[in-house]
Amino acid sequence: MIGVFDSGFGGLTILRAFLKSLPAVNYIYLGDNARTPYGNKSQAVIYEYTRQAVEYLFGMGCVLIILACNTASAKALRKIQQEWLPNHCADRRVLGVVIPLAEAGAAATRFGRVGVIGTRATIESRVYEQELIKIRKDLKVYGKACPLLVPLVEEGWVEKPETSMILKKYLRHLKDKKVDTLIPGCTHYPFLQDKIEKIMGKSCTVLNGPETVAEKLKNYLFRHREIDERLQRRGETTFFTTDDPERFRAFGSKFLGNSIKLVEKVFLG
């Protein structure tokens, strides 16, 4: 099984792309809704919460886990990969969403000017800048924290004029920098994809986060047969939350784009 973890609902947009790209694989989705958002927490707390989720998903039989959360990928992934995994589950893997998007951004840029939007924690970590520069040292990377976008999406305000005004204000900084490629560094942003593309204009390539990550996952499994061969393929998906299952089912169905029938509540930590 492949585990998909997020601090809340946003990772369901990644799972949605996985289900379209690799529909036969079994998935477990875990949302730590009781402790969301992660974006305003310390690195130590984010790491501990993420570690608890990883441990739980491995305990459920996952052989590969995707941290479908930019904050967890930025603040916890490296330590989990380098320190926790070798001592606990050396034959399993944990991947994030940052490197796939950074690779795609570096490949897409025409003039070497890349913009990144995300939560304050993701932008302040400068993780995208670091990964992009590893790939191409000549890149100019410009980050912009957009702390209001996640609550606006979760409140269902995507079509409100206020959301467009706020989005234009956030993106003005990147337009002024003349970025030709934009990385949406948050799993909530697919709901704003059309608006972001319109504001940035035709001269800027706006990556589709979920589609990019799903394509990179397919490539990873092709290159790592030892993981691919251990995956169960019955087309089953199971959902867990640390908060109210009924709220997750109702709200999560909007993010997944499909009805979620059953959600189980779990306790981490």
**Concatenated DSSP letters of 49-67:** HHHHHHHHHHHTT-SEEEE
Catalytic residue among 62, 146, 186, 204: 186
Which residues neighbour 118 within 8 Å (Cβ) at sequence distance 6 or greater?
A: 70, 128, 143, 145, 146, 184, 185, 186
Domain residue ranges of the chain, discontinuous segments joined by +: 2-96+211-265, 98-209
Fold exhibited by the domain 98-209? Rossmann fold (3.40.50)
Catalytic residue among 62, 69, 146, 204: 69
Which alpha helices (H) appear in 65-148, and where do they start and end? 70-75, 77-79, 85-88, 98-108, 120-125, 127-135
Within 10 angstroms of residue 96's Cβ, the number of other Cβ atoms is 25
CATH number of this structure's domain 2-96+211-265, picked from the four choices 1.10.260.40, 3.40.50.300, 3.40.50.1860, 3.40.50.720: 3.40.50.1860
- Mean pLDDT for the chain? 95
| Burial of 146 (C-beta count, 10 Å sphere; 0-12/13-18/19+) | buried
Q: Is the pLDDT of residue 116 over 90?
A: yes
Q: Is the pLDDT of residue 106 over 90?
A: yes
Q: How confident is the model at residue 16 (pLDDT cuts 50, 70, 90)?
A: very high
| Cα 193 → chain centroid | 15
Contact 89, 58 (CB under 8 A): yes
Average pLDDT over residues 120-131: 91
| Residue 89 annotated as catalytic | no
| Residue 146 annotated as catalytic | no
Q: How confident is the model at residue 227 (pLDDT cuts 50, 70, 90)?
A: very high
Residues 230-244 have pLDDT tens digits of 999 999 999 999 999
What single-letter DSSP state applies at residue 83? I
